[in-house]
Amino acid sequence: MKLKPGSLPWLAAHDLTLSWRRFLDMFGRLAPLATAGICLGGTIVLHLVAWRIMLLLPRLRPELGNAASATGAVFVLFVLAWMTAQGLLGMARTLLERGNMDLMLASPLPVPSILASRLASMVIGSVGSVALLALPLANMAAILYGPAWPAVYPTLLALAVIGTLGGAAVAIGLFLGAIRAAYGRSRSYVRR
């Protein structure tokens, strides 16, 4: 399927292409088949580790007792804080690295589309940074303890959206505050 140039999915696909190529670069000059083999092997190893960890879960449950829910909440808060940090960092980079945004903003695309695509890429990046470790655990738990565990997937996405947008909003606020402070101060000695 060919995406419509200039559309939000097209812009997001562009960002994903760049991210994918940067990821592939980590494998140097390896052949595509060898790269795929390493990725598959890594995924299997992560799932085996997750399998071992999840086997310990029934033993931990009685010990945690009533603290089980609190432990889950702490985990969710930790992930949210991580994703907020990702959002803050991503937006700060977007605002400070002039080249890429200049190129996009000089084009006739509507500014909201450009910013939305940037935020979508940041959300995907945030999900990816946690999914690598969290999803093997969720997959193994789903096999061992029932179908409720795949709920981790939408939960992770929701946390990424909330965290990333929150972090991005904080970065924009700080940026505008800094500009206002510097600009407000400078107005007093602007040459008239």
Partner 1 sequence: MRAGSRADGRSGAVAASASALQLRSLRKAFATRVVDDLDLTVRAGELYALLGPNGAGKTSTLRMVAGLLPPDAGGIEIFGIDALADPIAAKRITARLPDEPMLYDKLSPIEYLEFIAGLWGVEASRAERNAQELLDILELAPHRHAPCEGFSRGMKQKVALAGALIHDPLLIMLDEPLTGLDAGIARQVKDLLSARARAGATIILTTHILEVAERLADRIGILDRGRLVAEGTLVELSAQAGRGSSSLEDVFLAVTGQGTRAA
Residue 190 makes contact with partner 1 by CB under 8 A: yes
Tokens of 172: 């924009």
Per 3-state DSSP, the chain is made up of helix, strand and coil in percentages (nearest 5) of 85, 0, 15
Q: Which of 76, 101, 94 is nearest to 163 (CA)?
A: 76
Contact mark string toward partner 1, 8..27, x via CB under 8 A = --x---x--xx--xx--x--
Stretch that binds partner 1, among 38-46, 65-73, 104-112, 127-135 (CB under 8 A): 104-112
Nearer to partner 1, 12 or 88 (CB): 12
Q: Report the alpha-carbon distance of residue 46 to residue 131 in Å, rounded.
A: 11
Query: Residues in contact with partner 1, total (CB under 8 A)?
Result: 27
**Helices (DSSP H) in the chain: which residue ranges?**
8-25, 32-55, 57-64, 67-96, 98-105, 111-145, 152-187
Shortest distance, CB of residue 43 to partner 1, whole angstroms? 24
Q: Which of 101, 98, 92, 81 is nearest to 15 (CA)?
A: 101
Q: Pick from 36, 74, 77, 103: which binds partner 1 (CB under 8 A)?
A: 103
Residue 93 makes contact with partner 1 by CB under 8 A: no
Residue 29 makes contact with partner 1 by CB under 8 A: no
Task: Give the chain's count of helices (H) and strands (E).
Answer: 7, 0
Q: Pick from 99, 146, 147, 184: which binds partner 1 (CB under 8 A)?
A: 99
Contact mark string toward partner 1, 110..129, x via CB under 8 A = x-------------------
Q: Report the alpha-carbon distance of residue 165 to residue 159 in Å, rounded.
A: 10
**Chain contacts with partner 1 (rule: CB under 8 A):** 5-6, 10, 14, 17-18, 21-22, 25, 99-100, 102-110, 182-183, 186-187, 189-191
